[in-house]
Amino acid sequence: MLTRKQHELLIFIDKHLRQTGFSPSFEEMKEALNLKSKSGIHRLITALEERGFLKRRAHRARALEVLRLPENLAPRRVAEATAAAAPAREAGFAPNVIRGNFAANLPGVQKAAQDAAAVHLPLYGRIAAGLPIEALRDSGNSVEVPAALLGGGEHYALEVAGDSMVEAGILDGDTVIIRRGDTAENGSIVVALVDENEVTLKRLRRRGNSIALEAANPRYETRIFGPDRVRVQGRLIGLLRKY
């Protein structure tokens, strides 16, 4: 059973795919459903994936695939196809029609559509002790992410090493998207540089004149530092995962 918004989004994506050959942008989906933020679209897409209605194709921007529709929509598709064919039958001829997703079958068209909604971010490396972000800046690697995932500001990507943030849904090998900045709200997940030589991804808590870096795994203790020992290098705004 789908919620009303999940149902509306699935219908919109299916219609857009059939009309254009590629999936709508997050901005288009947000406007179609009259939502205030793109985070709501992320949640709806995840719910539709979990229920087996949608699939996100890896390493491709704007690449949603409708796996199935609710049963009550199947007759509607047949009715639409029948209505579209009616004028031809009434005119006394039945043309041979080759049905196809032309945009999807033309690599140049498809790539242009994808590139318009994708951004390449520098992939600096794994978050590990002894490797400040600055030391990884010339790695030459990059990762492609949906433009809809990003807001204003400068961004970069890091590969996660370890399991200290598993209860926040961040697993070993994930790629996190970071918005660069030296400030963050209390409770945000940040990239913190400790003592100018250790980079870690943790939840930031301010406790009086101290800064606590909290893991999201009971196996790891909260680490507390003086304010002059911790420097925020960015805030987590997104995550990519390969299956």
Which listed residue (111, 164, 188, 242) is catalytic?
Answer: 164
> Which positions ≥6 away from 219 have C-beta within 8 Å?
163, 164
Which listed residue (23, 25, 30, 202) is catalytic?
Answer: 202
Asked if 38 is an active-site residue, the reply is: no
Asked if 210 is an active-site residue, the reply is: no
- Structure-block tokens of residue 103: 């945009």
Contact 189, 158 (CB under 8 A): no
Task: Kindly provide the b/e burial profile for residues 50-75, where b requires at least 16 CB atoms within 10 angstroms of the residue's own CB.
Answer: eeebbebeeebbbbbebeeeeeeeee
Which residues are annotated as catalytic? 164, 202
